[in-house]
Amino acid sequence: MIPITVVDVRDAEDLVVEVLRSGAIAQGPMVKRFEDAFAAVSGTKHAIAVNNGTTALVAALQVLDLQPGDEVITSPFTFVATLNAILEAGATVRFADIRRDDFAIDPDAVAKTVTDRTKVLMPVHLYGQTADMGKLAPLAAERGLHVIEDSAQAVGASFEGKPAGSFGIGCFSLYATKNITTAEGGVITTDDDALADKLRVLRNQGMRARYQYEVAGHNYRMTDLHAAVGIPQLAKLDQLTAARQANAKRLSEGLAGTPGLDLPQVLPGREHVWHQYTVLVGPHAFLSRDELAAALTERGIGNGIYYPKIVFDYDCYAGHDLIPGARVEDFPVARAVSEQALSLPVHPHLTESDLDTIIETVREVLGA
């Protein structure tokens, strides 16, 4: 089987051993070292490490002091953590449809969705490419909205040279399958000194110093062990990204012209880091998306469906008070993409033989 992803953190062994031998494994100097390195990557003054990507989103919303009824606009095509974080923060969720070319929220749809209660715009930079921040950031500024970027899949990505996570408050995931991983972990990025200070207090049970409580806080801390896993990867992020980009280029060249298959695009001005290589299996393809996924699995090609439904289209969200009036049929692009999207292996550990096999197998089963 050619896997959809490979986790290799062997470079972290020396740092992990260093932490273990120190006898201090909770948040400490290794977390600070990781934060400094991450801030450099994100082009921001501050990077605040937390225990996972969902926590990053929740904390970013909490420090904005949202009130009941305040609205957050986000994408209906995303991992469920985006929605869960907004609900946990007690905000009202509004959705705007996506664009097919970048899988991200459509600025024109956002403009029609903003109300007097809207306080936050939360674009999702999906699959490793940013949303259209050239339109979304000015729209947010014009309407007086905070921007929280769900950058979980976009570490190292940029829009016109400006890194993901630097347009407002950036929220990153460091889960095991991400381009940079600490097994579990997250990071919040910002240039705002006051917000960074609030976030650091909030993640530490509301303490500025030991037993000096300033807010009702949480334990959102990252451990030095987790930070030690991530530091070597940040040091070689450019190398890892270049490998993903080369693999994506090879896939696009080899799959070009495959009947019924729409290939992912790198849009002008954007640096794509290829967390996933996601194709769309159109209605005129020889096989449906699900049939293609099954055929590839049978032939030893790992693949993934991210995501099979619109994010709120599950029974647990039906009738939720904080998701007013959301209906699947109101988001035709997101719905179509959820039925057609299929991700193929693009990770840095693929060999030339792997890439040839992926291309040949996809083309064969689709009748190319």
**Domain of 301, in residue numbers:** 237-364
CATH of the domain at 265: 3.90.1150.10
C-alpha torsion angle, residues 203, 209, 215, 219 (rounded to 10): 30
What digits encode the pLDDT tens for the residues 43-71? 999 999 999 999 999 999 999 999 999 99
Same domain assignment for residues 194 and 308: no
Contact between 290 and 281 (Cβ < 8 Å):
no
* Residue 158: closest CA among 267, 44, 272, 249: 272
CA 190 vs. chain centroid, Å, equals 17
Residues 268-284: tens digit of each pLDDT: 999 999 999 999 999 99
Task: Tell me, yes or no, whether 173 lies in a domain.
Answer: yes
Residue 301 structure tokens: 């090609």
Q: Above 90 in pLDDT, residue 338?
A: yes
pLDDT for residue 368: 76
Q: Are residues 139 and 257 in the same domain?
A: no
Domain contains 261? yes
For the chain, give the mean pLDDT.
97
Same domain, 132 and 171: yes
The CA–CA distances, whole Å, from 44 to 17, 295, 298, 358 equal 30, 44, 45, 38
Nearest to 57 by CA among 37, 26, 83: 83
H or E element in which residue 293 lies: helix 289-298
Of 230, 264, 281, the domain-final residue: 230
The two three-digit tokens of residue 367, written as one number: 């009748």
Would you name the residues annotated as active-site residues?
178
The answer to whether residue 3 is domain-embedded is no
Q: Which of 230, 265, 294 marks a domain boundary?
A: 230
Per the CB < 8 A criterion, the answer to whether 45 and 190 are in contact is yes
Rounded Cα distance between 203 and 62, Å, is 11
- Asked, for residue 2, whether it belongs to a domain, the answer is no
Domain total of the chain: 2
pLDDT in tens, 222-262: 999 999 999 999 999 999 999 999 999 999 999 999 999 99
Q: What backbone phi and psi angles, to 5 degrees, belong to 122?
A: -120, 85
Residue 26 sits in a domain whose CATH number is: 3.40.640.10
> Do the beta carbons of residue 341 and residue 280 sit within 8 Å?
yes
In angstroms, rounded to a whole number, what is the distance separating the alpha carbons of residues 222 and 204?
Answer: 10
Q: Give the residue from 60, 41, 194 showing the smallest Cα distance to 121.
A: 60
Distance CA 148, CA 200 (A): 17
Tell me: do 218 and 300 sit in the same domain: no
Same domain, 160 and 124: yes
In this structure, the answer to whether residues 271 and 325 fall within a common structural domain is yes
Residue 89 lies in a domain: yes
Same domain, 219 and 261: no
Cβ burial of 67 (10 Å; 0-12, 13-18, 19+) is exposed
In a domain, 332, yes or no: yes
Mean pLDDT value across residues 73-77: 98
Percent of the chain whose pLDDT exceeds 70: 100
**How sure is the predictor about 206, in pLDDT bands with cuts at 50, 70 and 90?**
very high
Residues 96 and 135 in one domain: yes
Residue 223 lies in a domain: yes
The pair of three-digit structure tokens given for residue 242, joined into one six-digit string? 């270049």
Phi, psi of 12 (to 5 degrees): -90, 0
CA–CA dist 14, 2 (Å, integer): 29
Mean per-residue pLDDT for 148-175? 98
In a domain, 94, yes or no: yes
Which is it for the CA torsion 112, 117, 119, 125, positive or negative?
A: negative
Q: Which of 212, 230, 248 is the last residue of a domain?
A: 230
Residues 206 and 333 occupy one common structural domain: no
Q: Of 352, 347, 354, which Cα lies nearest the Cα of 180?
A: 347
pLDDT one-digit tens code per residue, 296-319: 999 999 999 999 999 999 999 999
pLDDT band at 213 (very low <50, low <70, confident <90, very high): very high
Same domain, 111 and 162: yes
User: From CA 348, how far away is CA 244, in angstroms rounded?
Assistant: 5
pLDDT at 220: 98
